[in-house]
Amino acid sequence: MGYEIKLDIFQGPLDLLLYLIKKNEIDIYNIPIAVITEQYLEYIDVMKSLNLDVAGEYLVMASTLIHIKSKLLLPVHDDTEDEEDPREELTRQLLEYQAFKEAALNLDTMNLLGRDVFKGGYLLGNETDGEHSLEELSIFELIEAFKVMVSRINPEEIMEIDVERMSLSERMNEIMERLNKEKALTFSDLLGELSNRIKMIYTFLAILELMKLRVIKAYQAKPFGTIRIFLAVED
């Protein structure tokens, strides 16, 4: 099969349909449903084969298209003349979406404050100066930091069978206790003092678990800076 597929990033099923209409130079008021449906489904197949998560919305639209197609196949009787074209609702939706897509592009061409124009004192409020403006961290940056910590452990560590079973909830409680006392801890406060790999892993898992439960938050002032951990809610 010799067709070429250019996979743009679509903003949703309507965006994909508009793209197909434009690509095929189709009159939006007279959409050849059979052709469009076929191409639409091809795109979804490609997305699936690329292991992209095809959102439910795309599938809903696929079924809508197939439904319209099947309706068009039914013979039209004279007495149903008043009935609206099954494509009408879809065309209306596409036109409305197109108008807002354009509006969004227009908005983007305006002089945005903080991008194209700046006001006095802009730096003051936004520059990341030291400890005050901290950025919330994602799990990935934490994992990166963890890798650094682990790499510091002496590689010739003698492995021994861990008799003392570690418990995750115990580590979580310990971290919470320390945080309650000290209010803020750095990532290396918690991990740096440990020389035991297992204990480090447990501590790291405990931090992740506490973040997931939203009881603690991790912040960083600048890339590769110190990671600070706070209680999410102060009591």
Partner 1 sequence: MDNLKAIVEGIVFVSESPVGLKKLKGLLEDIEGKEIIKALDDLVEEYDKRNGALCLVEVAGGFQFRTKDNFSPWIRKLTSIKPVAISQAAMETLAVVAYKQPVMKAEIEKVRGVDVSGTLKGLLEKNLVRMIGRKDVPGRPIIYGTTKKFLEVFNLKDLSELPTLRELKELGE
- Binding residues for partner 1 restricted to 122-151, rule: CB under 8 A: 122-123, 126-128
Exactly one of 120, 158, 160, 169 binds partner 1 (CB under 8 A); that residue is 120
Sheet holding 184-186, edge to edge: 135-136, 216-220, 227-231, 184-186
Q: Which of 3, 74, 77, 115 binds partner 1 (CB under 8 A)?
A: 115
Helix (H, G, I), strand (E, B) or coil at 224: coil
Please, which of residues 158-177 interact with partner 1 by CB under 8 A? none
Tokens 């439904």 -> residue: 67
Rounded least distance, CB 109 to partner 1, Å: 9
Which of residues 8, 84, 156, 235 is near partner 1 by CB under 8 A? 84
Measured CA angle at 20 (ends 19, 22), to 5 deg: 65
d(CA 152, CA 227): 17
Q: Is residue 52 near partner 1 by the rule CB under 8 A?
A: no
Helix (H) or strand (E) holding 208: helix 197-212
Q: Which is nearer to partner 1, 95 or 213 (CB)?
A: 95
Type of residue numbered 11: Q
Q: Which residues bind partner 1 (CB under 8 A)?
A: 11-15, 29, 55, 57, 61, 84-85, 88, 91-93, 95-108, 110-123, 126-128
